[in-house]
Structure 1
Amino acid sequence: MAWVALFFAGLFEIVWATAMKQSDGFTKLVPTIVMAVGMLLSFGLLAWSMKVLPLGTAYTIWTGIGALGAFIIGIAYFGEALSFMRVTAAALIVCGLVMMKLSSPA
């Protein structure tokens, strides 16, 4: 169950990071509220998953999910550049996440 919570914590990290971008420096109310709620849910689920999972594993997986999600959202919705180097970097993050999961005793 800790892995499920960690996965959703990562998804909520994508939500709050995207909402932060959309808040335009906290000048738009709705995205700012979505960001705050997303942060609370993300951090809460991360903390709950850390009751079982090792710190290094949980934090790495959480940030990795958020980084990959933000990368994809940036390209799909904000028109950010898609290049071979950026895709290679994202693939390396995925490799690191898989290795972390496989090496975790929990």
Structure 2
Amino acid sequence: MDVEGKEPDPRFTLANERTFLTWLSTSLALSAGGLAMAVVPKGVFVPWVRVGLAVVLVMLAALAAALAYPRWRGVQRALRREAPLPSLTLAPVFGYGVAAVAVLALVLILVAG
């Protein structure tokens, strides 16, 4: 991390760090959801749907983990330069991705029940 600019208020640095850690815990939760979906008994969901949901969840987990540090670094750089914070362009991908998985899982649960 480059150290150009002035040292930001520690509260902002710590808030940025908490956000970084939240990205990582979100990634772990998505991974756990994907793994759970992958081991659902074969008779519960159609196999290709079960595998598809698991793959989408694990891909979202990998994306969240991969983007956590670059996001932290970009925000920290902006804080040091007293510049606008970088936009979170992938927020819709995570929001709509998790929502789509949840809706599809809900439909499958209702149909199977």
TM score, norm. by length of structure 2:
0.44
Q: Kindly name which structure, 1 or 2, has the bigger radius of gyration based on alpha carbons.
A: 2
Q: Is the helix fraction higher in 1 or 2?
A: 1
